[in-house]
């Protein structure tokens, strides 16, 4: 009796998971002892936690503003200026632009300006601080998110925040109920201002 035995070997290749970094720089961070300088809040999460669309950006902006204690229910702030990369998929979209109106209408600020840098802009503080994240991480083999957070947390000028699923709120659905679609209204303008005259909300694009 002859037996035939077949052996099969399968090679399983694991693709590295994508980790997203979303940075917001405070240009007037108080380090104490009279030192005021740039400081970046870096939100880190992998592709299983969230994506990079408008509702994710809006969620992390609100999270950072709360962390900086700029969203107060008992006091209206002055003028908020946020400068973005000119990325239509991630930044310049309906959800993010409507966030400006929401921040103003919630009486968090008297005036909100969203400024989008022109294509080919010079390096800015966020670019420089992102480079500071690479000092240790590029030297190591990293296998877990915990190891990644440690490797990125090497600069006193950066606060690395591990983002979880509950940090992402569906601002897109919420804003759709209250604000008109801005598609077709946004052309080459790069400064969006949300102001008000008494109770009337005005957005200049």
Q: Would you give the distance in Å from CA 108 to the centre of its chain?
A: 19
Higher pLDDT, 19 or 182: 19
Mean pLDDT of 137-156: 87
Tell me, what's the pLDDT at 9? 64
The label of the residue with tokens 């693709």 reads 15
Tell me, what's the pLDDT at 126? 80
Tell me, what's the pLDDT at 192? 85
Tell me, what's the pLDDT at 8? 61
The DSSP code for 152 is H
Cα angle 156-69-173, degrees, rounded to a multiple of 5: 110
Tokens standing for 108?
A: 């968090």
Q: Taking all residues of the chain, what is their mean pLDDT, rounded to a whole number?
A: 83
pLDDT tens per residue across span 34-82: 999 999 999 999 999 988 888 999 999 999 999 999 998 888 889 999 9
pLDDT tens per residue across span 9-40: 666 666 788 889 899 999 888 998 999 999 99
Beta strands per DSSP E along 33-108: 35-46, 77-84
Tell me, what's the pLDDT at 199? 54
What count of other Cβ atoms lies within 10 Å of the Cβ of residue 162? 15
Question: Of 23, 169, 29, 20, which is closest to residue 102 (Cα–Cα)?
Answer: 169
Residue 150, SS3 per DSSP: helix
Higher pLDDT, 6 or 48: 48
The label of the residue with tokens 């005005």 reads 202
Mean pLDDT of 71-97: 81
With pLDDT > 90 as the criterion, what percentage of the chain qualifies? Answer: 36
pTM for the whole thing? 0.84
Return the domain boundaries, the chain. Answer: 19-204
């Amino acid at each position: 009796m002859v037996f035939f035995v077949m052996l099969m070997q399968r090679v399983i290749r694991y693709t590295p998971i994508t980790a997203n970094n979303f940075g917001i720089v405070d240009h007037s961070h108080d380090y104490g002892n009279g030192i005021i300088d740039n400081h970046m809040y870096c939100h880190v999460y992998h592709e299983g936690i969230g994506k990079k669309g408008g509702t994710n950006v809006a969620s992390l902006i609100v999270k950072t503003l709360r962390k900086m204690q700029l969203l107060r229910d008992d006091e209206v702030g002055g003028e908020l200026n946020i400068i973005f990369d000119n990325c239509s998929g991630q930044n310049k979209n309906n959800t993010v632009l409507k966030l400006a109106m929401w921040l103003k209408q919630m009486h968090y600020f008297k005036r909100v300006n969203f400024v989008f840098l022109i294509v080919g802009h010079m390096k800015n503080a966020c670019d420089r601080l992102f480079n500071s994240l690479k000092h240790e991480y590029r030297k190591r083999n990293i296998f877990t998110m915990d190891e990644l957070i440690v490797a990125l947390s090497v600069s006193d000028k950066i606060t690395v925040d591990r983002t979880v699923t509950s940090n992402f709120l569906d601002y897109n659905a919420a804003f759709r109920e209250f604000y008109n679609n801005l598609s077709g209204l946004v052309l080459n303008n790069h400064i969006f201002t949300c102001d008000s005259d008494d109770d009337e909300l005005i957005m200049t694009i």
